[in-house]
């Protein structure tokens, strides 16, 4: 294939197709497969999952690991063979442990991404096929409709009322029309009216497009490659990174202090350097990124088993912290199965003619597929209606400003005449009517008729029916029609749809409320039908704000009204994002559940965007969480799983940082006063390795019910307080151990190091079981994997000094019965003191809730 980077928008469609080796029938499947190998997958990202080898090598990129490798090399140079082998073995063991967990986690996330991947319709082998978007190649003929994401840069071959949102490329907030043609080669992106670009989306209409550039060769890919920019991190990711950085900075200062003191005390230089290197690793939170990744991925897997797919891992924290859920009613609070119950004329009488006109309008519509049109078509077919003798002439697609759809048809028995049929929202259809059907004639639409129609509309809404209006106009035939032709219409009647509330909607809202989440309905439907539904599902129908009222409010007024309002009705698409931002402005963490084209801005703005598997492409791609079933009960289950995952992530962070801080203080205070090093380098590394094993199991730990009942947020101040208080408790018992060993047992170097190794490791293991819960430890059952891994490591710890080869290798000595009793006594005292400190901490210190920080929106996905 002779594929050039020329200005394809300036080429004739036929010649460009020939150049790309394509045509009206598209590519053959073998040719598409060959091009996929040549051009690679259609993604603008640097790469998907890291290869196993690359992930393994990444484990050795840490400066701390490199310090240990340097220490091992130094030992080898000095012929300290056993020291070098121990260091290298522990480095390898720790790296393999981290690699194994991260590899499993990345594999699980890759499987979830495959479940979430988008598809596109293409012509291949002369037939329409649906293929994964990542397999689109240059030369594919792509079929697009409203709601689709543009899968590649390409040339428009055919288009009908084709409007595209290109804000991500050009910054233009309004959709632009695209049509076939030829554009000058020097035209900027915004002026290429015959071309579409990866990263934009279809607002309305349909089109056939020839894919020219894919993946990183697209305009979007070129921008990403040029900037090498990464999406801004969430609060949670930034908090983890900054807190880890803080610990490392403190660790560096402590290590330098300890090293300096060893030099001043004239201790052996090589031994001091190895000690400092091991201390750096033992005190650093080196497993923090891996543990966070493993915990979040395990949570994502658990959520997927309950029908909740995670698009962005750190959205689990946002889901757990959600306080307000904004949702449409259709499909979440209602069954989402529209049924056309009645078609009535302007006088309120059943009308077969209104049914027929609605059937023609819905059947010929080709823009945005929706359940209302499907219900009309199904009812018409059931009544024996067909399109026989009727030809479609033109279509004026639905858009969210006009809120109506117009179809122009020609009927065989009326040559030279066309019939314009418009259906849509009642106010918007009534606004373009000047007459009303009175049965045997059309009469002027005066105020009396308008009042009667408004009463009929309101009555139907209060009875729970969703209502559309229908109008028509007979005109002389002409080739094309536009928005200007939607005037002077005759009001023909109303279409009444029934979408019953879900049986579990009321209980689902109560369950969410029990989790601290308030549900708010944002709907384009009228106030009457939404109020009827609210009464049914337990929301306050009087707590209502209409789109008209909202438009008249200043932002400051909306900030105060939005949190107290349950129902936002008759809302324009542009107002959805404004509502979300008003709630956020008042300090609330907001989730938004939407599945339509017009939901994308609100999904982006929300703290956590939620969509469903059947949503349009642009909504699914904008969302952070995908529900396999559009049910609030599924969302409730996802929130609970998200809170469990977040709680377990914070457990590791809190426990590890407090233990590390305690060890830092202990080392800094003890080193100047001890006649020898408190632990040898290899003993520190063994301690660190063994204590890491149970930490991996925290991701599968049980979570107390009260931790799930309230929204959770990343609170770095509380973690800092936790770190200091429990770190100091640990240090106090470390110093008590030092005093007992020196003053009571008069321990020598080997005995001192063996005893403190046991005490420091056993207390680290015990504290995991104690601080994993806010309850008294005996009233909370740990997860079986965490419990048994802790028990096994504790047993191995006690056995090591008594195992001849292992004891000799690490310079341990067997302890006397009195020393073992002392170990048990100090451990018991530490556990009791930790329980007392924990009760005091959660009663007196924790629970401070910092003011909500408004963050910049995380990214444009």
CB 20 within 8 A of CB 207: no
CA 469 – CA 358 distance, rounded (Å): 10
Q: Per-residue b/e over 44-75, b at no fewer than 16 CB within 10 Å?
A: beeeeeeeeeebbeebeebebbebbeebbebb
> With left for phi above 0 and alpha for psi between -120 and 50, is residue 29 left, alpha or beta?
alpha
Identify the active-site residue in 140, 161, 235, 328: 328
CA 679 – CA 262 distance, rounded (Å): 13
Cα 144 from chain centroid (whole Å): 26
> With left for phi above 0 and alpha for psi between -120 and 50, is residue 26 left, alpha or beta?
left
CA 702 – CA 641 distance, rounded (Å): 11
Q: 769 exposed, middle or buried (CB, 10 Å; 0-12, 13-18, 19+)? A: buried
Beta bridge partners of 408: 394, 420
Give the dihedral sign, CA 397/402/403/407: negative
Please report the DSSP string for 498-553 in residue order.
E-PBPTTHHHHHHHHHHTT-EEEEE-SS-HHHHHHHHHHHT--TTSEEEHHHHHTS
Give the dihedral sign, CA 792/797/802/805: positive
Q: Measured over all CA atoms, what is the biggest interatomic distance in the chain, rounded to whole angstroms?
A: 114
Residues 6 or more apart in contact with residue 623 via CB below 8 angstroms: 311, 603, 609, 610, 611, 615
CB 279 within 8 A of CB 665: no
Q: Per-residue b/e over 294-328, b at no fewer than 16 CB within 10 Å?
A: bbbbbbbbbbbeebbbbbbbbbbbbbbbbbbbbbb
CA 247 – CA 260 distance, rounded (Å): 20
Question: Any idea what DSSP says for residue 740?
Answer: I
Question: Any idea what DSSP says for residue 566?
Answer: S
Residues 6 or more apart in contact with residue 321 via CB below 8 angstroms: 589, 607, 646, 711, 712, 713, 714
Q: Per-residue b/e over 229-261, b at no fewer than 16 CB within 10 Å?
A: eeeeebbbbebbeebbeebbebbeebbebbbeb
> In 800-857, where does DSSP find H-type helix?
804-809, 817-840
CA 450 – CA 430 distance, rounded (Å): 8
CA 586 – CA 807 distance, rounded (Å): 61
Sheet holding 308-310, edge to edge: 308-310, 625-627, 608-612, 590-593, 324-327, 518-522, 567-569, 544-546
CB 632 within 8 A of CB 332: yes
Catalytic residue list contains 328: yes
CA 9 – CA 181 distance, rounded (Å): 8
Backbone angles phi, psi at 673, to 5 degrees: -105, -10
Length of the chain: 861
Question: Any idea what DSSP says for residue 853?
Answer: P
CB 178 within 8 A of CB 207: yes
Q: SS3 for 851? A: coil
Beta bridge partners of 593: 327, 610
> Any idea which residues carry the catalytic annotation?
328
């Amino acid at each position: 294939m002779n594929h050039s980077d020329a200005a394809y928008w300036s080429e004739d469609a036929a010649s460009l197709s020939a150049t790309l080796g394509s045509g009206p029938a598209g590519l053959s499947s073998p040719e598409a497969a060959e091009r996929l190998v040549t051009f690679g997958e259609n993604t603008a990202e640097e790469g998907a999952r890291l290869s196993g080898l690359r992930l393994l090598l990444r484990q050795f990129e840490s400066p701390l690991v490199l310090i240990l490798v340097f220490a091992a090399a130094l030992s080898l140079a000095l012929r300290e063979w056993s020291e070098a082998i121990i260091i290298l073995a522990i480095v390898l063991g720790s790296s393999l442990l981290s690699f194994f967990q991260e590899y499993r986690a990345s594999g699980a996330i890759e499987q979830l991404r495959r479940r979430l991947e988008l598809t596109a319709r293409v012509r291949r082998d002369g037939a329409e096929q649906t293929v994964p978007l990542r397999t689109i190649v240059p030369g594919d003929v792509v079929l697009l409709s409203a709601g689709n994401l543009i899968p590649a840069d390409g040339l428009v071959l055919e288009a009908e009322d084709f409007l595209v949102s290109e804000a991500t490329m050009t910054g233009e907030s309004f959709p632009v029309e695209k049509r076939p043609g030829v554009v000058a080669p020097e035209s900027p992106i915004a002026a290429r009216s015959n071309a579409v670009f990866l990263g934009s989306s279809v607002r309305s209409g349909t089109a056939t497009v020839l894919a020219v550039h894919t993946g990183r060769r697209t305009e979007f890919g070129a921008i990403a490659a040029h900037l090498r920019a990464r999406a801004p991190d969430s609060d949670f990711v930034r908090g983890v990174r900054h807190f880890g950085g803080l610990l490392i900075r403190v660790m560096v200062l402590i290590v330098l202090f300890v090293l300096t003191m060893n030099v001043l005390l004239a201790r052996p230089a090589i031994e001091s350097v190895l000690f400092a290197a091991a201390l750096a690793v033992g005190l650093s939170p080196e497993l923090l990124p891996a543990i966070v990744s493993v915990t979040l991925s395990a949570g994502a897997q658990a959520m997927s088993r309950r029908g909740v797919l995670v698009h962005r891992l750190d959205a689990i924290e946002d889901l757990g912290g959600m306080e307000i859920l904004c949702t449409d009613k259709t499909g979440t609070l209602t069954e989402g199965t529209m049924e056309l119950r009645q078609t009535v004329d302007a006088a309120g009488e059943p009308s077969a003619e209104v049914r027929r006109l609605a059937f023609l309008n819905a059947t010929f519509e080709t823009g945005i597929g929706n359940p209302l049109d499907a219900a009309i078509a199904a009812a018409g077919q059931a009544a024996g209606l067909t399109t026989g003798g009727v030809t479609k002439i033109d279509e004026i697609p639905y858009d969210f400003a006009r809120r109506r759809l117009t179809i122009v048809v020609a009927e065989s028995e009326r040559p030279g005449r066309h019939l314009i049929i418009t259906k849509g929202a009642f106010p918007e259809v009534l606004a373009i009517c000047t007459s009303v059907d009175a049965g045997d004639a059309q009469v002027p639409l005066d105020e009396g008729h308008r009042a009667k129609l408004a009463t009929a509309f309101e009555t139907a809404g209060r009875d729970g029916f969703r209502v559309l209006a229908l109008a028509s106009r007979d005109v002389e035939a002409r080739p094309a029609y536009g928005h200007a032709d939607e005037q002077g219409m005759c009001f023909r009647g109303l279409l009444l749809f029934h979408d019953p509330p879900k049986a579990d909607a009321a209980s689902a809202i109560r369950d969410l409320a029990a989790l601290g989440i308030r549900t708010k309905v944002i709907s384009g439907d009228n106030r009457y039908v939404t109020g009827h539904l609210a009464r049914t599902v337990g929301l306050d129908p009087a707590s209502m704000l209409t789109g008209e009222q909202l438009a008249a409010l200043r932002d400051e007024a909306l900030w105060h009204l939005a949190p107290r309002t349950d129902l936002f009705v008759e809302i324009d698409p542009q107002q959805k994002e404004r509502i979300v931002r008003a709630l956020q402005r008042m300090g609330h963490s907001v989730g938004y559940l939407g599945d339509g084209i017009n939901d994308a801005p609100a999904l982006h703005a929300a703290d956590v965007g939620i969509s469903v598997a059947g949503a349009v492409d642009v909504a699914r791609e904008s969302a952070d969480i995908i529900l396999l079933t559009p049910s609030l009960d599924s969302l409730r289950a996802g929130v609970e799983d998200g809170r469990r995952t977040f709680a377990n992530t914070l457990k590791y962070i809190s426990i590890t940082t407090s233990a590390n801080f305690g060890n830092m203080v202990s080392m800094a205070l003890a080193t100047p006063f001890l006649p020898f090093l408190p632990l040898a380098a290899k003993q520190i590394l063994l301690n660190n390795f063994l204590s890491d094993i149970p930490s991996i199991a925290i991701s599968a730990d049980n979570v107390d019910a009260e931790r799930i009942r309230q929204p959770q947020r990343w609170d770095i101040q509380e973690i800092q307080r936790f770190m200091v208080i429990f770190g100091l408790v640990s240090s106090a018992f470390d110093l008590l151990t030092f005093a007992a060993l020196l003053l009571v047992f008069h321990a020598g170097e080997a005995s001192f190091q063996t005893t403190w190794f046991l005490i420091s490791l056993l207390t680290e293991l015990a504290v995991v079981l104690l601080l994993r819960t806010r309850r008294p430890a005996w009233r909370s059952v740990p997860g079986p994997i965490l419990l048994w891994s802790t028990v096994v490591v504790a047993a191995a710890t006690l056995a090591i000094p008594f195992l001849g080869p292992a004891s000799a290798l690490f310079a341990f000595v067997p302890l006397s019965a009195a020393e073992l009793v002392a170990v048990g006594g100090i451990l018991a005292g530490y556990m009791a003191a930790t329980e007392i400190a924990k009760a005091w901490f959660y009663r007196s210190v924790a629970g401070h809730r910092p003011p909500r920080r408004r963050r910049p929106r995380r990214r444009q996905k």
